[in-house]
Structure 1
């Protein structure tokens, strides 16, 4: 596949044609704890129940999964901009990121907020197909600054739009420049060089690779990149779509490579959140961290210039190192919002260049989706991230955005956590995954 020459061409590759539909960071539809969590109000709409759907309503409720301090502050600024522009008061219901995602199914079937944050791709299509999201095609008629690829990423199986993109971000290996300069570390170009670098970092008293998987989804990024590097983009996408066997030698090779890297990973990962792992990088206790650009949220403003990254190195020279994950985040509308008119006004605003400009000024941890935004304010890290995405030959959304949500959450999350805990029985693990996959994908 030729190299994309522009953001539009890159975005045309964001939604693989072989996968019609789901997301990232976990959907535990029907999990035993879901009802209890919802019952305590952890994930319920916060809009004024008396606001009604009439044209006189001046409120709109928003379900937000942006619970960390920096992104939460950015969302507050965007919503303030909307209120100033429209006179409509947004009531933001912020819920812990993982709780939001683990309970989204029941949330949408109950009394959701008018607008809620979610993800492009399969996850969006999944809820649209189930009738749990509102058609926002008319909002798209008022948007500008989006390529056809962004529209494709926002379109359901019925050809209607159900999503408004706000941001996207690449996954890469992040590090602190000052630590590397002090130690004389060089960016590895191959897996062997990465192993050699990791061994040196260990000798120097660092955790070579910061790592966390308490929340279940971060390890998916490691699997993704190893599979992309070892077997290539098309195999990875076909595996996610249920078209390839998890018991194949190709998948076994991925886990063998991962098992070889595990000694370089920060220990006790299953008891650590991604934020805590990122803080070990920020505190100069770890040398590297494979994560999305949002890792920058855990760094102070005066530390942003010290943060750098490289794309995960080559493993097979015939495949190279040009494929990566770059998920899209944004907003959707409930199927029956209390005020559909206000909900659509909000969606039109969050999809505008004005909202994108607010994000650029306040958030160094993401790239805005609207091409009309003024990106001259991007940090050096953001500019480099945009260049990385533009130079990629293939783009995946992320494991649980590229496959069925039930498969990602009920099979892959526990399987990867089991592997991290005990990487010795790879054959048995892959047989278990394959057997469960057959059951799920034949539903």
Structure 2
């Protein structure tokens, strides 16, 4: 542990036992505090930034949405969006134009979010939502790094742009909520906004074989989370969610889909491209397990090496590189005095590369996650955090990342357009720097 003094003292917890105390054993003594004020403009009082009953209520609604049964019901929408991604990228390959990788994967993840969680064609609003979220998060990062010197009320150009972006994003989400209110019993087709397949001379040869893939039932399992929140009262209070609460929760879901899942897939692709042996192993495994089929949950569980690549990617490049907590009361944590109002920061990125807990920590090594290897300390590896505030969608994130990585590498060869080592830019999330551009080629069968 070490501390920094810039105004109030901040403690940095770099040992798993200290982290375990804050996130589990003494979780009630800490809350999400001043460190999250910088992101409230974009996330509101959503599940990532809220505390107390506001947070508890959202978790009660969210947790059932990530059960195994619910994940299986979402497979048709995942298949639809993977099919759409294949068609869009095939068109890019045929046009021989560079692909902005992070943006393209972000489009996929946001479309998938709309199809599975919101039952809405959110992909149609992708450009607006993604642009607004980027602008707001960039300014949130500046406020966070300023140590309190840059306040949201200040009329700086960055603040003005961020407020404009937040208003536009609010309008887009309000429209989604209004649409959901008009169809509480509707059962729309998954993945609205699907790209058209090229045909004739430009025909895409990678249409998936849907044999054995589950098809959605006509009248069950197709209601989105947004409709559930509109029609089902809180089981504890009996109250329905207000539009402002729905707005905040939608923002959190979009942040998770466009931010964390998209970044995991982007980093995994970049890591695989850096090591031809890793790429070749993924191709061999996918062709052995899937043989051209869309993956079922059982198939995804058999993509063992591909999953190891995702786990190792999350170790080296965790989407959220650090989290913070504010002490609600004064106390001691494993002999360390923590005073009320002081901040503690958990540098996830540092813990994931700490030489005391990882062998050769800077090397990308999917084999370290092999079944014969010992499991890491759970508080030295926590891309989705631990304790009651851990991400409820961790299984969905890994499932989606494995399926997407397997599909892309099986169908396409990607080549970076800029040489040099992979570099990360730590902001609210951990982004590649510069944002990668790749050339896309159909992979020979």
- TM-score class, shorter: under 0.3
Normalising by structure 1, we get a TM-score of: 0.25
Return the TM-score normalized by structure 2. 0.25
Structure scoring higher RCO (CA < 8 A, sep ≥ 6) equals 1
